[in-house]
Amino acid sequence: MKPATFDYVVPRTVAEAVGALGDTERTAQVIAGGQSLILEMHLERVQPELVVDINRIPELDGMSVEGDELRVGALVRHAAFESPDAVPGPLGTLLAQAVVNIAHPPIRSRGTMVGSYGWAHPASEWCAVGTALDATVELAGPEGVRSVAAGDYFLGPFLTARRPQELITAVRLPLLGENTGASFIEHRRTHFCFAQAAVGTTLTVDDGVISDVRIGLVNSADRPVRARAAEHALRGAELGSLPSGPRVPDDHPFARAGRIAAEQDAAPLPEPFADVDYKRRIIAVLVARTLREAAKDQRARRAAREGDQR
């Protein structure tokens, strides 16, 4: 199908873009990478009267480390995160492991992390990672700039706290310290499908004790989920020995945390090829595996540091 007709503007500054979005006479949509919006317009599920193209606004491009945060501008493409060295420390590992699950290279070269926050698909890898890490969403509107925590930003499928006149200028993610390991694992039917479920995990270990753990669940509810009950079960526990085989034994604390995440934190919705019970089983397995991989990553980083000091 062809999209319905619409007006099109190309602002050069954030202020001009916010001015265009503030036009109350017409329903407006921002276009960044266009990898979700154009499809939705062709399917006539979204019919904006005005499309605001932000691709000519230099101040929205680029990512930078600011204090202990990574600030990702609204024009940074998914592909920018494919190398684990693009972002310092374990956060770079987590983002690089997550991004390869997003569609395929042509889409990753156009689509943006911030666009994923604009779209708010429950199966978005970026939205779950940001929710687990307490990311902050920067919104510029007619009254100025405000920041919203990711946990308050996602309100449901394709539903967010963004007001129609607001432009997302950036997403800010906390950098992860050197005692942290990270892992992201996804399960889906074919390589190009959205996730049936996926999990991003970070694990911080101080003197053998799990001092912090973050678990983000993808497509495990009507919005991104931070698995707080599972995190609570692990925080303060001794890390101990790690399971060596491919399977995490049922009586290992990581497997128990997986079951807690699946039963208490997740609220999965059924899909044609994955009913609720199946999804809960996947979530339990993926949580346990990402915890094991994050712990391995944390130990490998520590060993590398100690090797450097010799």
Ligand X SMILES: Cc1cc2nc3c(=O)[nH]c(=O)nc-3n(C[C@H](O)[C@H](O)[C@H](O)COP(=O)(O)OP(=O)(O)OC[C@H]3O[C@@H](n4cnc5c(N)ncnc54)[C@H](O)[C@@H]3O)c2cc1C
Q: Which residues bind ligand X (CB under 6 A)?
A: 29-37, 39, 54, 74, 101-103, 107, 111-112, 114-116, 118-119, 121, 124-125, 167-168, 192, 194
Is the C-alpha dihedral spanning 115, 119, 120, 123 positive or negative? negative
Strands 197-206 and 180-187: antiparallel
Please list the residues that pair with 81 across neighbouring strands.
none
Minimum distance of ligand X from residue 118's CB (angstroms): 2
Closest residue to ligand X, judged by C-beta, is 111
Q: Which is nearer to ligand X, 194 or 254 (CB)?
A: 194
Minimum distance of ligand X from residue 76's CB (angstroms): 10
Q: Which amino acid is at 22?
A: G
Return the closest-CA partner of residue 187 out of 197, 199, 179, 178.
Answer: 197
At a CB cut-off of 8 Å and minimum separation 6, what does 3 contact?
Answer: 38, 41, 42, 44, 47
Minimum distance of ligand X from residue 227's CB (angstroms): 19
* 279, 287 Cβ separation under 8 angstroms: no
Q: Which tokens hold the place of 52? A: 């605001």
Q: Which is nearer to ligand X, 112 or 131 (CB)?
A: 112
Q: Which is nearer to ligand X, 128 or 230 (CB)?
A: 128
Q: Which is nearer to ligand X, 108 or 292 (CB)?
A: 108
Q: Which is nearer to ligand X, 190 or 309 (CB)?
A: 190
Minimum distance of ligand X from residue 2's CB (angstroms): 17
Q: Which is nearer to ligand X, 43 or 209 (CB)?
A: 43
At a CB cut-off of 8 Å and minimum separation 6, what does 238 contact?
Answer: 208, 209, 210
What is the 3-state secondary structure of 63-86?
Answer: EEEECCEEEEECCCEHHHHCCHHH
Minimum distance of ligand X from residue 119's CB (angstroms): 4
Query: What secondary structure letter does DSSP report for 225?
Result: E
Minimum distance of ligand X from residue 223's CB (angstroms): 13
What is the Cα Rg of the chain in Å?
Answer: 20
Tell me the C-alpha distance between 273 and 267, whole Å: 17
Minimum distance of ligand X from residue 169's CB (angstroms): 7
Q: Which is nearer to ligand X, 144 or 192 (CB)?
A: 192
CA distances from 3 to 10, 42, 43, 49, 247 (A): 19, 5, 7, 11, 48
Q: Which is nearer to ligand X, 52 or 230 (CB)?
A: 52
Minimum distance of ligand X from residue 108's CB (angstroms): 7
Please list the residues that pair with 9 across neighbouring strands.
52
* Count of CA atoms in the C-beta half-sphere (13 A) of 257: 30
